[in-house]
Amino acid sequence: MSGDLKQLQHKLHIQFQDRQLLKQAFTHASYVNEHRFNQHSDNERLEFLGDAVLELTVSEFLYRLFPDRPEGELTKLRAAIVCEPSLVKFAENLEFGHYVLLGKGEELTGGRTRPALLADVFESFIGALYLDQGLDSVKAFLERYVFPKLELGGKMQITDYKTELQELTQHHNLGVLEYRIVEERGPAHEREFVSEVYMEGRSLGRGTGRSKKEAEQQAAAVALRELSSIEQ
């Protein structure tokens, strides 16, 4: 059973002007599929927008926080913050899973705690907040609930295969990378994505994951192994 979004707004000290936008952010596609007659909208478009807004706001945060760090380090730090495991932790800390509207099948199979779903909901909320109140409100939210929880000190051990692959191909001037989702399989609550990474039209690697981002990371890992001979 989903929680009351009024309660969530009170807890976050945020009042949405467009409450339907907030509801959409917490509406999973499985719920829409079971309630078509009510003309609900799922959160997938908001997730797309929220992903871009997070990239921008986190980039600015790191740019200001570390004025002396090079672009490569900032890229890796950003990747560690906006990756799925981190977004899941943010969503769990805020108990976002409690407020999601799910279809019965998704509910019964534990969708409320599924990592990919929680990461998507966090991005959707960011997208909704941006549309409702603008970039400054998104920054204020992140500064209050997300940035203080980041562990940015020391030597972060980051496994970001996509960034490593990008750096390798740029360093050797090998060509432009392109990621494609070539297959989606399984039911909604156990969706698996297959991604393939191409360089100049040639396939370098294929990977699978429970989210598109995870599949792309796995594809990049395969491609790195294929190209490892370059650095020998």
Task: List, by residue number, the catalytic residues.
Answer: 51, 123
Q: Which residue(s) pair with 179 in the sheet?
A: 197
Distance CA 22, CA 25 (A): 5
Q: 132-167: string of b/e by CB count within 10 Å (b at 16+)?
A: bbeeeebbebbeeebbeebeeeeeeebebbbbbbee
DSSP state of 34: H
Residue 131, amino acid:
L
Handedness of CA 172, 215, 102, 38 (dihedral sign): positive
| Degrees to nearest 5, angle at CA 197 with 232 and 55 | 100
Distance CA 101, CA 107 (A): 9
Q: Which residue(s) pair with 202 in the sheet?
A: 199
| Degrees to nearest 5, angle at CA 88 with 148 and 82 | 65
Distance CA 42, CA 24 (A): 6
